[in-house]
Amino acid sequence: MRVLAVLGLSLVLGYTAHAETLYYGSRAGMEVTVVKKSNIGTTHAKIALKHTKANATAFCRDYIQKVTPKCIADEMKVSLLPEISANCKTGKFVTANGQGYQFLGSNTQYDPTAFNTEYLLVDVGSNEPLDGSSASGYDVALDQFKALCPDRAQ
């Protein structure tokens, strides 16, 4: 019985030490922890997120390069949604920052040597495509969409 308890505890500790994360921003350490996934790849895909102290510490260490109580507290105040969601059929999704996008599929004009994107993502509010720059948030939004709808963007 003790062996089973130790094994179970080891599995739990191993799992929490290597929790899955998603980026919410383009800077080093801008990550949140995945708490739960449901209906992945469907019209009601959801991923519950938690911005943990460990996430905030990673941001301070990796981007700010100085871990202080103030840095951690400031990072914990970043306003993020507790859940991201998508309709994988229509391609519409909402990121951790609350921004709405639509995945329109492969970019037929994609050229890996040129400055354009492999997939077309448009901002739902402006209907403008993201240009692929880190300032546009393309990589972060695409990664969140891929987590919600893995079969749509491979």
Q: Which helix (H) or strand (E) holds 15?
A: helix 2-17
Residues whose CB is less than 8 angstroms from the CB of residue 97 and which lie 6 or more positions away in sequence, other chains included: 24, 25, 80, 81, 137
For the whole model, what pTM was predicted? 0.82
The stretch 98-109 carries a mean pLDDT of 89
pLDDT tens by residue, 27-48 = 999 999 999 999 999 999 999 9
Provide the greatest CA pair distance for the chain: 61
Q: Contact, 101 vs 136, CB < 8 A? A: no
Closest-CA residue to 124 (of 89, 93, 85):
93
